């Protein structure tokens, strides 16, 4: 039987790294693999910069499913399926230390923590360039929990990351809460090697079938609390 090798970056809850090694992307790729008659193998990517995950497409793995947002820069390295989730960036702070911060409009003079290679970085850098924030501190991709711990000690003042991931990551961190959601609108999609029209077509058809038969809605409800592809339809 064919094996579909899937590149994943951890931790990225609720897409992966959940209890029992579960997650939205894990369930999705298992269902997609079954649809195309393949077994699935998850291949961890542990680079410091998330952007490097695309360099392994076609060699180390056949596709990437890592809560991956679509950007023009990433489309130079990969081809993306239609999005299975639409979400955006969120902002978290330690509300005990910085109770006045409720949005990106309150970050003047403060430091924003982001992950290397994450789509939050250019947004944070633009806030600094516009004089709306003081600085950006870049953490290695695997060090996101260090960034959240630094919110309480002053190592950084705010952390920006995708809504579903940040919502999950702050749960065990005392005093740290998500104070703003929907800062951006971003498509989250599976990436395949550029030019691999066969795999793109097979996975696109399989994903559409999972959407049509209700499987994707059930997966999203399980991990996101609602069935919608467009997470802006939910109330927070």
pLDDT given for residue 4 in this prediction: 98
How do residues 35-82 score in pLDDT, each as one tens digit? 999 999 999 999 999 999 999 999 999 999 999 999 999 999 999 999
Cα(41)–Cα(50) distance, integer angstroms: 20
Average pLDDT over every residue of 6-25: 93
Instruction: Assign domain 2-86+186-233 one CATH number from 3.40.190.10, 3.40.30.10, 3.30.70.980, 3.30.43.10.
Output: 3.40.190.10
pLDDT for res 225: 95
What span, in angstroms and rounded, lies between the C-alpha atoms of 65 and 25?
Answer: 6
Instruction: Please say if the pLDDT value at position 234 is more than 90.
Output: no
Same fold for the pair 2-86+186-233 and 89-180? yes
Q: Give the domain ranges of the chain.
A: 2-86+186-233, 89-180
**CA–CA separation, 93 vs 179, rounded Å?**
7
- Note the pTM of the prediction, 2 decimals: 0.93
The percent of residues above 90 in pLDDT, for the chain, comes to: 93
Q: What is the pLDDT of residues 138-168, one digit of tens each?
A: 999 889 999 999 999 999 999 999 999 999 9
Q: How far apart are CA 41 and CA 5, in angstroms?
A: 5
pLDDT (tens digit per residue) in 88-144: 999 999 999 999 999 999 999 999 999 999 999 999 999 999 999 999 999 998 899
Please, which contacts does 165-168 make with residues 24 or more away whose CB atoms are closer than 8 Å? 165/12, 165/13, 165/14, 165/15, 165/67, 166/90, 166/91, 166/92, 167/90, 168/13, 168/14, 168/18
Contact 182, 163 (CB under 8 A): yes
Strands 191-193, 78-80: pairing is antiparallel
Q: pLDDT confidence of 229, banded at 50, 70, 90?
A: very high
State which fold the 89-180 domain adopts: D-Maltodextrin-Binding Protein; domain 2 (3.40.190)
- Cα distance from N-terminal residue to C-terminal residue, the chain: 43
């Amino acid at each position: 039987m064919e094996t579909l090798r899937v590149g994943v970056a951890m931790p990225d809850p609720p897409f992966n790294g959940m209890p029992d090694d579960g997650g939205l992307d894990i369930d999705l790729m298992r269902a997609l693999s079954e649809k195309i008659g393949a077994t699935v193998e998850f291949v961890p990517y542990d680079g410091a910069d998330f952007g490097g995950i695309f360099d392994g497409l076609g060699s180390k793995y056949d596709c990437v499913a890592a809560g991956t947002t679509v950007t023009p820069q990433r489309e130079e390295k990969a081809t993306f399926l239609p999005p299975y989730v639409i979400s955006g960036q969120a902002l978290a702070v330690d509300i005990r230390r910085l109770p006045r911060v409720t949005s990106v409009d309150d970050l003047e003079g403060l430091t924003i923590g982001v992950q290397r290679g994450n789509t939050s970085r250019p947004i944070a850098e633009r806030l600094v360039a516009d004089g709306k924030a003081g600085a950006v501190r870049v953490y290695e991709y695997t060090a996101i929990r260090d960034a959240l711990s630094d919110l309480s000690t002053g190592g950084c003042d705010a952390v920006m990351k995708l809504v579903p991931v940040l919502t999950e990551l702050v749960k065990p961190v005392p005093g740290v809460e998500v104070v703003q959601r929907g800062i951006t609108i971003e498509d989250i999609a599976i990436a395949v090697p550029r030019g691999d029209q066969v795999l793109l077509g097979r996975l696109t058809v399989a994903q559409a079938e999972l959407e049509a038969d209700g499987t994707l809605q059930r997966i999203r409800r399980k991990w996101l609390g609602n069935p919608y592809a467009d997470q802006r339809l939910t109330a927070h």
